Amino acid sequence: MTLDTPKTVFLDRDGVINQDSPDYIKSWEEFAFLPGSLEALRLLNERGLCTILVTNQSAVARRMLTIAELESLHQRMQDKIVDAGGRITDIFYCPHLPEEKCKCRKPRTGMIERAADKYGLELAQSVLVGDSAKDILCARQAAVGRTILVRTGNGLSAEIELAALKVFPDHVAADLLAAVRWIIDPQSQARPPSGRKRNP
């Protein structure tokens, strides 16, 4: 483990841990882990890193699933993760619609701030992994130390969207497993060909 390995890893859910869907993930039957994500979560747990999920779930406000159903889905997800040797420390979700203008929906920073308060986190020592521009923008806004965009989920279009905003993640990884390997040992992971470093 290198000296600057972060203590906390924030993860988006859809498109990072599991397959995203334009129709929303409304039940456990629709939830499918992306290849390598369980192994990535195991590696984080093995190294004792605090892993916190921050996920926009407007499907709740859209009445596609209830809070109880979302929490039951998360419990089943966590059970599978634990079976594979991983562990998610906590899950923060935003159940609101974009137009509700809540403080928690990414790119707003409410979920990260709540997690930081609850666990006394040093955000500058944290890293966030996401597949959408709003994940990276949220992390930057919350002064999370490092950001990684994965090319699963919305990652490819997010890379273009962020470049147009001149916002460059610290690293771009093929998927969560590659992102976690970079977190654990940045030197061991060559950057993908079009990966961009953050602007000075």
Q: What is the set of active-site residues? A: 12, 14
CB of 15 to Mg ion, least distance (A): 4
6, 15, 86, 195: which one contacts Mg ion (CB under 5 A)? 15
Of residues 7 and 110, the one with the C-beta less far from Mg ion: 110
How does DSSP assign 22-68, residue by residue? TT---SGGG--BPTTHHHHHHHHHHTT-EEEEEEE-TTTTTTSS-HH
Binders of Mg ion: how many residues, by CB under 5 A? 6
Q: Is residue 12 part of the contact set for Mg ion (CB under 5 A)? A: yes
CB of 166 to Mg ion, least distance (A): 22
From the CA atom positions of the chain, what is the Rg in Å? 16
Q: How far apart are CA 138 and CA 125, in angstroms?
A: 16
**Strand pairing class (146-150; 171-173):** parallel
CB of 104 to Mg ion, least distance (A): 15
Binding mask 122-161 for Mg ion (x = CB under 5 A): ---------xx--------------------x--------
Cβ(132)–Cβ(125) under 8 Å?
A: no
Q: CA nearest 86: which of 40, 136, 55, 17?
A: 40
What burial class does residue 111 get, using C-beta atoms within 10 Å of its C-beta: 0-12 exposed, 13-18 middle, 19+ buried?
buried
CA 184 vs. chain centroid, Å, equals 16
CB of 174 to Mg ion, least distance (A): 16
CB of 186 to Mg ion, least distance (A): 23
Three-state secondary-structure class, residue 159: helix
* CB closest to Mg ion, residue no: 15
Q: Is residue 86 part of the contact set for Mg ion (CB under 5 A)? A: no
Binding mask 38-67 for Mg ion (x = CB under 5 A): ------------------------------
Binding mask 90-129 for Mg ion (x = CB under 5 A): ----------------------------------------
Q: Is residue 175 part of the contact set for Mg ion (CB under 5 A)? A: no
Q: Please calculate the CA angle 135-170-86 and round it to the nearest 5 degrees.
A: 65
**Which residue ranges make up the site for Mg ion (CB under 5 A)?**
12, 14-15, 131-132, 153
